[in-house]
Amino acid sequence: MEYSNLLIHNNDGIITLTINRPKALNALNQQTLNEIKHFFENTKNDTSIKGIILTGAGEKSFIAGADIKEFLSLDQGSGTQMAQNGHDIFFLIERFPKPVIAAVNGFALGGGCELAMACHMRIASPNAKFGQPEVNLGIIPGYGGTQRLIQLIGKGKAIELLMTADMINAEEALRLGLVNHVVAQEELIEKSSKIIATIATKAPVAIAKIVECVNAYYNNEPDGFMAEIAAFGRTAGTADFQEGAAAFIEKRKANFKGA
């Protein structure tokens, strides 16, 4: 597959995968998600790969969210399908048998924050901003955000951020445990590469099993991820969502009616 929105750089088995839509602040459209899916599906068994660094093009944004223009035609059925596809892709990353590090170089909002949380670790630059602003659109996070944010920072703060849509900066994200390290922007790739290089000196099977076992800790019933998919579909079928998405595109305040 020829990638339109991904740049791939291989430095001795350490792959830097760059989301390359800088004019759109690297927003995740369906083409980009399909390219990410193809990449991770086709590299999970590549023994030459030591690890993946996932980042965004430019200095302003890791991923500023999903491409809201693609949301305008959603209803409950297509919303559920979109959320399921996003979950499937982000689970590929979360379950990848080699380390995957998000090098967060600016805004990580909505789907961008969710993608960063699906990675095994997050390294942020001082200008990084994290948030889940979906309620501003009358919808909820649909790519695992309601589950992984709680796992990383705990229920109390997670539900506050999910309900208020507030953004937090890199230092607050570090304090809460959302990110592992904060380094100068020009050191993001170097720091991420050093961590992967250290892990590459360990037994590959053991590393893969660490990923498997850590993920198993969160395999609780009922399945919160399935609940999120259903809830995303439900909110995608509301008039409030149509109003919220239209208001975002039109750069005005949404007038929600509760339906």
Among this protein's residues, is 134 annotated catalytic? Answer: yes
**Angle, vertex CA 129, rays to CA 126 and CA 134, nearest 5:** 175
Cα 158 from chain centre: 15
Q: Which of 35, 94, 134, 228 is catalytic?
A: 134
Q: E strands along the chain, which residues?
A: 6-11, 14-19, 51-56, 61-63, 100-104, 107-109, 121-124, 129-131, 168-169, 181-182
DSSP conformation class of 103: E
Please state the length of the chain. Answer: 259
Dist CA 113 CA 186 (whole Å): 21
CA distances 144 to 26, 52, 155, 174, Å, are: 19, 20, 15, 20
Among this protein's residues, is 114 annotated catalytic? Answer: yes
Q: Which of 2, 114, 160, 243 is catalytic?
A: 114
Q: Residues near 235 by Cβ (< 8 Å), separated by ≥ 6?
A: 79, 138, 139, 140, 241
Inter-axis angle of helices 239-250 and 224-236, nearest 10: 70
Pick from 220, 139, 219, 131: nearest CA to 169: 131
DSSP conformation class of 243: H
Active-site positions?
114, 134
